[in-house]
Structure 1
Amino acid sequence: MPTAPSPRRRPPLVPRTRASCLVALCLILLSPAVAGATTQPRPHPYDSLQQQLEQLVRAPGGPPGVIAVLQDGRSSRVVRAGVAELGTARRPEPHDHMRVASTAKAFSGAVALSLVDRRYLRLDDTLRERLPRLPRAWGSVTLRQLLNHTSGLPDYTEDPTFLATLSANPRHHFDSRRLLDYVADRPLRFRAGTRYQYSNSDNIAVALMAEAATRVPYERLLDELVYRPLDLRRTSLPQGYRLPVPYLHGYEVTPPAPPEDISEALSMSGVWASGGIVSTPADMTRFVRGYAGGRLYGHRVVREQRRWIPGGASEPAGPGRNDAGLGIFRYTTRCGVVLGHTGNTPGYTQLIAATPDGRRSLTFSTTTQINRTMKPGLLARLRVVQENFVCALLR
């Protein structure tokens, strides 16, 4: 932790109080893919939300369980279908643990932007300045470019050596702070800042920059800058493969084979700040309301966060038209705009979204992995259902 911060900085660990495989699965663990239009039967917008979730569970390759939490002020509505664990009658609950997948990138964004607000980091800080041990070819990449996926960093999750290690032992314990070593011999994929391309390496570098700026472990920064201010009591960043109980069981669903429980198949040390967080629908509701609503940092930082890159999509793409900001995405639906993030990992697919003021929110969790590479038709259907939920929220 830094000694004696300058008067212009606030200590990084002081909460802001402003009131305003699985080999095949491993290969696409967090793989970037842009969802396109797919002609599939679409749920009618006037079907009940409950009916739409039940249809999603019954769809070929659909999730064994799904839970959505809609929050409007102090009023909360939970809609769910299926079960939390096959072979039981237990329904998905808001306090069930789950893997949040790439929505963990929003948490690294929250940490980094909180440190920008406290003047421990600047959006124009470069890897050369903060992480000089990384390749010189990457030196000009800025924190801003990491957060909005215009850095050009090669994606370590696509590296053959990383994938071979994961394939040999999905529970292998990686050194999370050395994950970028897998691609340290690679140049940038393009000149930084010239195009958008989603990369899991970006958020590993973000977490390392946060640690370098504060001399505080990323896990502690999460606790002090995000979990405590937003009262997230069931959220953590584990290194292993175990899930706290109770949890939503995640499944590989590939008919005609029976669903396979893969909830604890993979070590989270291999995704760390890019996708390793474990949380609950209730905690994720609190998180996205605070994060999208700008409760963790001031208006100056919020303005920078919301400089949108048209067409920049999260993975998988969220409802409506997607645009990328700093650690957050804008989803423009037929009913209005929400801000948030999506994610998918073996066993789970996530959407968290809230109105720009944070007053209304949607957390939407399914217990199988759905993306364009694996299940393009189901993804198209999922996005329609999610848009209908957003419309119900905004009404």
Structure 2
Amino acid sequence: MPLMSSPRPRPRRRAGAPPRSRLRFRLCLVSLLGASCLGGLLQAPVAGAAAGGSRGTGDHALRGQLEELVSTPGGPPGVIVVLQRDGAPRVLRAGVADLETGRPIEPTDHMRIASTAKAFSGAVALRLVEEGVLSLDSTLGRTLPRLPRAWKAVTLRQLLNHTSGLPDFSEDPEFRELLLEDPRRTFDPRRLLDFVADEPLRFRPGSRYGYSNSDNIAVALMAEAATHWPYEHLLERIVYRPLGLRDTSLPRGYEMPEPYMHGYAVEPPAPPEDVSEAISASGVWASGGIISTPRDMTRFIRGYAAGRLTSKAVLREQRRWIEGASEPAGPGRNRAGLGIFRYDTRCGTVLGHTGNFPGYTQLIAATPDGRKSLTVSLTTQVNRTLTPALLERLRTVEKNAVCTLLRGHGH
């Protein structure tokens, strides 16, 4: 079946082999979307210390905080924040998109959106529930009978709120070995769960929260099985076209479309290393392989948080909150819904998702009516395992960005 068109990388000169990254990055790139480099399921804390204090809010104060973040040892070479109320978006940024050229980051620059891609698979699944093609009570056993019998009782609802108990394929030793051997390897994304098919569930489905990258692979496979259409086509029909996303795609390879913000491994005292195209997106697929831009992500989260892609009845189910944090943890207190998280801060509540991937860290969030939104994009990976102190500093900046958004413009 033909797929809809998507952005294509512009031809340019390339090295023939992946970058020779430093040892720490080589060991931790297999975590991809935030799983611990030491193994085990990483569940980020639901609250953290407000490193650096509450600080000021408003555009001027927030710009200063972004400059401080970029100048922090180990901090990102670049950061861009897009705030939008009812009118035109306001863009705040610090650092650069490319250390080699010094070019500033633009809202139209492509980037790896990491685990915020899980909100896209949530959007697809919830729309199919609205259409009656799937149910939140649909099980893996009925929809995907080829998967292990031990997983058969897991429901779509449990996959979407990370209470499934599925083992995380990105933590599997064989998967990590293959990725370290050739980071640009092209995986068959529809066979990623095969890496953990011989493993039991981590816990009884529905009994507790446990963030797993396998969950959203299974969601995409369920969507394909129910519709007989490729997941990439479903993204085009259900998400990209309705929300006007023109620069968003789900590639298989490692190339980035031009122009793009370069992502870096930052490990002082060594200089930052460009890892933008170090890894094939096929190894994360529906869990984090999407490429987009701050402009498109702003459009997405405003529509998604407001429930524009589904009905009010399904939206109520999506917003049945449980204890659980995104990875990395978002601003304030985190609680999990279906393909979305609730972030309660001192200035109010926003709904959204976070993500991290070698070279990139993301936050997208909007008020429940979608009228106020923010995106925060960094050009290095920040999470509790790699950079816990930097993560707390970032969360403080994110909280202040939420306050700037909700309390008014401030200059």
How does the TM-score come out when normalised to structure 2? 0.90
Q: 1:292 to 1:39 in 2, by over 3 A?
A: closer
Amino acid at match of 1:26: L
1:324–1:330: 8 Å Cα contact kept in structure 2?
yes
SS of the aligned residue for 1:246 comes to coil
1:147–1:326: 8 Å Cα contact kept in structure 2?
yes
1:245 is aligned to: 258
Note the 1:21-40 alignment, pairs <5 A: 21=21, 22-30=25-33, 31=35, 32-35=42-45, 37=48, 40=51
Question: Among 69, 87, 106, which residue is 1:93 paired with?
Answer: 106
In 1: Cα distance, 2:89 partner to 2:277 partner: 30
1:265 equivalent in alignment to 2:278: yes
Runs of 4+ aligned structure 1 residues displaced above 6 Å come to: none
In 2: Cα distance, 1:233 partner to 1:42 partner: 39
The Cα of 1:49 is off from its aligned counterpart by: 1.0
Question: Among 210, 213, 221, which residue is 1:208 paired with?
Answer: 221
1:182 equivalent in alignment to 2:192: no
The Cα of 1:25 is off from its aligned counterpart by: 2.5
1:70 equivalent in alignment to 2:83: yes
In 1: Cα distance, 2:378 partner to 2:252 partner: 23
1:39–1:377: 8 Å Cα contact kept in structure 2?
no
> Percent identity over the alignment?
68
In 2: Cα distance, 1:360 partner to 1:187 partner: 42
Question: Among 56, 68, 74, which residue is 1:45 paired with?
Answer: 56
Amino acid at match of 2:206: G
Question: Among 344, 368, 382, which residue is 2:356 paired with?
Answer: 344
2:382 is aligned to: 370
Amino acid at match of 1:213: A
In 2: Cα distance, 1:255 partner to 1:393 partner: 33
Amino acid at match of 1:367: T
Amino acid at match of 2:133: Y
1:279 is aligned to: 292
In 1: Cα distance, 2:50 partner to 2:239 partner: 40
In 2: Cα distance, 1:378 partner to 1:154 partner: 28
In 1: Cα distance, 2:287 partner to 2:26 partner: 20
Aligned length: 376
The Cα of 1:40 is off from its aligned counterpart by: 4.1
SS of the aligned residue for 1:228 comes to helix
In 1: Cα distance, 2:241 partner to 2:138 partner: 27
How does the TM-score come out when normalised to structure 1? 0.93
2:158 is aligned to: 145
Q: Which 5+ residue runs of structure 1 have no aligned equivalent?
A: 2-12, 14-20
The Cα of 1:83 is off from its aligned counterpart by: 0.4
The Cα of 1:81 is off from its aligned counterpart by: 0.3
SS of the aligned residue for 2:308 comes to coil
SS of the aligned residue for 2:242 comes to coil
1:111 is aligned to: 124
1:360 equivalent in alignment to 2:372: yes
The Cα of 1:29 is off from its aligned counterpart by: 1.2
Q: Which 5+ residue runs of structure 2 have no aligned equivalent?
A: 5-20, 36-41
SS of the aligned residue for 1:291 comes to helix
CA deviation vs aligned residue, 1:335-379 (integer Å, no higher than 9, x gap): 000000000000000000000000000000000000010000000
